[in-house]
């Protein structure tokens, strides 16, 4: 993660990368329920709660450290990043909650039927679009981490497979 004050171990970075790619793909699928079908949309996003929880667990040290130092001296970008992450959490929660309240497949299959309100449907759509924008900003702020990690764990190993020369050291 960009601005991360604590250095994460290499295997954790790899886990983070795989997890983030997975979350990104799930989000893109979730953004188009008309193509995936509503049942896949609902079960996939509900299951992604586990991946999102793991994503937060892997960034736990950063969250705690910046929470403690927020009103002390920290960089502007770190401060913006922190606020943005909270907004992402708040609106992500709103997407999930409004989705659960308008559920057409998951909840009914569990025998739960809620009155369908237009308000929550509108809110679900609006908050999903807002999360898309926030995710764009989140991605932008972590761009150097994404480039570095992709290079280290994806591009370099692939290049090493095809090159006849000695592979580059990727452990740094």
Partner 1 sequence: MKTFGRILIILTAFTVLGGLMMWVGNANGVNSPSFARNSGEAEFRPLQGDEDGQEGSRPPREVGEDHEGREGRGSFGGRWVFSLIKNVGVISVLVVAIVLPKSIIKKKRKAPVSPA
Binding site for partner 1 (CB under 8 A): 28, 31-38, 41, 49, 53, 56-57, 60, 89-90, 93-94, 96-98, 101, 104, 113, 115-120, 123, 132-133, 135-137, 139-141, 143
58 binds ligand HEM (CB under 6 A): no
**Residue 134 interacts with ligand HEM (CB under 6 A): yes or no:** no
- Decide if residue 124 touches ligand HEM (CB under 6 A): yes
Among 1, 102, 123, 141, contact with ligand HEM (rule: CB under 6 A): 102
Q: Is 99 in the site for ligand HEM (CB under 6 A)?
A: yes
What's the CA gap between 112 and 20, in Å, rounded? 32
Q: Which two tokens stand for residue 65?
A: 């450290």
Q: Quick one: tokens of 108?
A: 């009914």
Could you tell me the two tokens for 20? 């983030």
The binder of ligand HEM chosen from 1, 66, 94, 95 (CB under 6 A): 95
DSSP state of 9: P
- Position with the least CB separation from ligand HEM: 99
Q: Where are the alpha helices (DSSP H) in the chain?
A: 10-30, 33-36, 38-58, 60-69, 76-101, 106-109, 118-141, 143-150, 156-162
């Amino acid at each position: 993660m960009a601005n991360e004050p604590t250095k994460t171990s290499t295997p954790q970075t790899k886990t983070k990368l795989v997890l983030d790619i997975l979350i990104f793909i799930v989000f893109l699928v979730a953004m188009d329920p008309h193509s995936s079908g509503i049942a896949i949309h609902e079960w996939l996003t509900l299951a992604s709660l586990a991946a999102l929880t793991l994503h937060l667990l892997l960034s736990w040290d950063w969250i705690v450290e910046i929470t403690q130092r927020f009103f002390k001296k920290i960089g502007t970008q770190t401060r913006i990043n922190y606020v943005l992450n909270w907004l992402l959490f708040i609106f992500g929660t709103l997407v999930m909650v409004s989705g659960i309240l308008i559920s057409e497949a998951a909840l009914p299959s569990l025998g739960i039927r809620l009155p369908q309100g237009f308000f929550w449907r509108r809110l679900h759509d609006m908050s999903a679009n807002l999360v898309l924008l926030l995710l764009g900003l989140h991605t932008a702020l972590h761009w150097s981490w994404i480039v570095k990690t992709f290079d280290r764990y994806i591009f370099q190993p692939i290049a090493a497979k095809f090159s006849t020369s000695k592979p580059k050291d990727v452990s740094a």
